[in-house]
Amino acid sequence: MTINTITTSPFPDQKPGTSGLRKQVKVFQAPHYLANFIQSIFDSLTSAEKTTLVIGGDGRYYNREAIQVILRIAIANGYKHVYIGQHGLLSTPAVSVIIRKYKLNGGIILSASHNPGGPDGDFGVKYNVSNGGPAPETFTNKVFEHTKTIARYLIVEGDDIPLDDAGEYEIAGTRITVIDSVSDYADLMEHLFDFDKIHSMFNSGLFSMAFDAMHAVTGPYAREILVKRLGATEESIMNGTPLPDFGKGHPDPNLVYAADLVALMNQKLQSPDLGAASDGDGDRNMILGRQFFVTPSDSLAVMAANAHLLPGYRHGVCGIARSMPTSMAADHVARRMGIKCYETPTGWKFFGNLLDAGLINLCGEESFGTGSDHIREKDGLWAVLFWLNLIAEKKQSVANIVHQHWQGFGRNYYSRHDYENIDMTAAQAMLSDIQTLLPTLSGRAWGDNLVMAADNFSYRDPVDGSLSENQGIRILFENESRIIVRMSGTGTQGATLRLYFEQYQPPAGQLDADTQTWLAPLFAIVEELIQVKQRSGRSAPDVIT
């Protein structure tokens, strides 16, 4: 088979963000655009790192076509063995499982995570390295530099590889294996959790759940694990068929975009005992009880405090990591356990070094992501199974488990306000203004909120010594309250300004107040400092979690 060398020229906008390169579908469909980026990835690897590869995605629009292009470029670049998920589907956690299980050089994940899909939606490409985690900044910066000067890419011609049946093919010396998308991942989950105990809980007829796959990649995974292996009813799965446009929905598991699930869980009568949702590529999760929302920050803290109860974590927790905007609830658990809690920038790749070095075995972000050392990605269904196993073990409701946690560790009232798709210039001006104010804030008081420190967060990696600066504005108060202001790096249009608010109450304090009411004084401080509503043109946040 002939290897063709295609002359091309650079695109100026191929800088990967925190989760790879994300653009609108129409951008990726432009001639040479996808091929340029893939060739830049391959050219940034050594020859030893271009032997084995896995490719898969969340099934969004352009997923199948992109796989065929990437496969042809991989063959032309001399890969010996390429694994592809059946139907072109692989969740992001499953890619990490497969890389680690089969000791592959890396993987290409086609997803824009929780961003909308369809012809007018978003698409994304992310490269994961041999530990199963996202490529570090040193590598993605190398890729970006190559995209600026690329002049050619290599590709072979030929018929498309069938993706809908498992099987093996060989093309130009490259072995291609279309694998079952679910089984390797499901087998690992069965090793980590007490499936017999969870199955008995479902079989008792006294427990029910609802899992919203949001017409994204986790539908097949949920059917195999929750229904076939654990005994949940088929009706437990909502929106379980992956669709290229996610059923015209927004596959982001939060209180706004998973509205049907939230409404079901808030019913006064006959709501399920556990509600859960996952996002486009399966790495995020939302956990709900009856009329009760578990913040991702609280979920991480509860997991850390109870991990020793579950089979895969009997050895306990050696360390925890959380992203800087995530609440400090996990810090209180770590302090009680006598272990370290690391504060990292936003982006799962920052957890990889800590996990590989054995400094932590549990980590999480406020943006609905939690995970452990079983892989090097956040893992939505893993989190759901953790909660199922915990409920089966403790024989308590979701709300009771969290309330018991607050009574032991205190409560971190916490909320994130997202102003989505606002004018980029206005968002940058707000960040610039608050940056300018930082030196004046220390010692300033708003009622009981006395500023202890204010800075732009920087992180020195304790493993490799790398420095990441300008990771978000922090205003820290003496009463353990915090305000965080930063821009999201996951959107493809306009800007998303994210504001985070937190205040700690000890176990003897007020633990049952309404979160938005309790944090209102902190909202007023930000509004006074940078006039968010006026300058964003919004009367309220687009999403509150």
Question: How many whole angstroms separate alpha carbon 440 and alpha carbon 301?
Answer: 34
Question: How many whole angstroms separate alpha carbon 167 and alpha carbon 176?
Answer: 8
What residues pair up with 167 in beta bridges, in sequence order? 178
Query: Which residue do the tokens 């949702």 mark?
Result: 277
DSSP letter (8 states) at residue 475: E
CB neighbours of 514 closer than 8 A, spacing ≥ 6?
A: none
Question: How many whole angstroms separate alpha carbon 540 and alpha carbon 519?
Answer: 15
Looking at the chain, how many residues does it have? 545
Rounded to the nearest angstrom, the gap between the alpha carbon of residue 357 and the centroid of all alpha carbons in its chain is 21
Helix (H) / strand (E) element for 476: namely: strand 473-477
Q: At 83, is the secondary structure helix, strand, or coil?
A: strand
Question: How many whole angstroms separate alpha carbon 177 and alpha carbon 85?
Answer: 9
User: What type of residue sits at position 26?
Assistant: K
Q: Are 61 and 51 in contact (CB under 8 A)?
A: no
Query: Which residue do the tokens 């669709």 mark?
Result: 243
Q: Are 273 and 391 in contact (CB under 8 A)?
A: yes
Q: Are 170 and 76 in contact (CB under 8 A)?
A: no
Supply 242's token pair.
């992956």
Helix 380-394 and helix 92-101: axis angle, to 10°? 90
Catalytic residue positions, numbered: 113
Closest listed residue to residue 296, CA positions, set 363, 349, 369: 369
Rg (the chain; Cα; Å) = 23
Sign of the Cα torsion 308, 373, 330, 208 reads negative
Q: Are 375 and 389 in contact (CB under 8 A)?
A: no
Q: Are 398 and 288 in contact (CB under 8 A)?
A: yes
Q: What is the DSSP string of 101-147?
A: HTT-SEEEEE--TTS--STTSEEEEEEE-TTSSBPPHHHHHHHHHHH
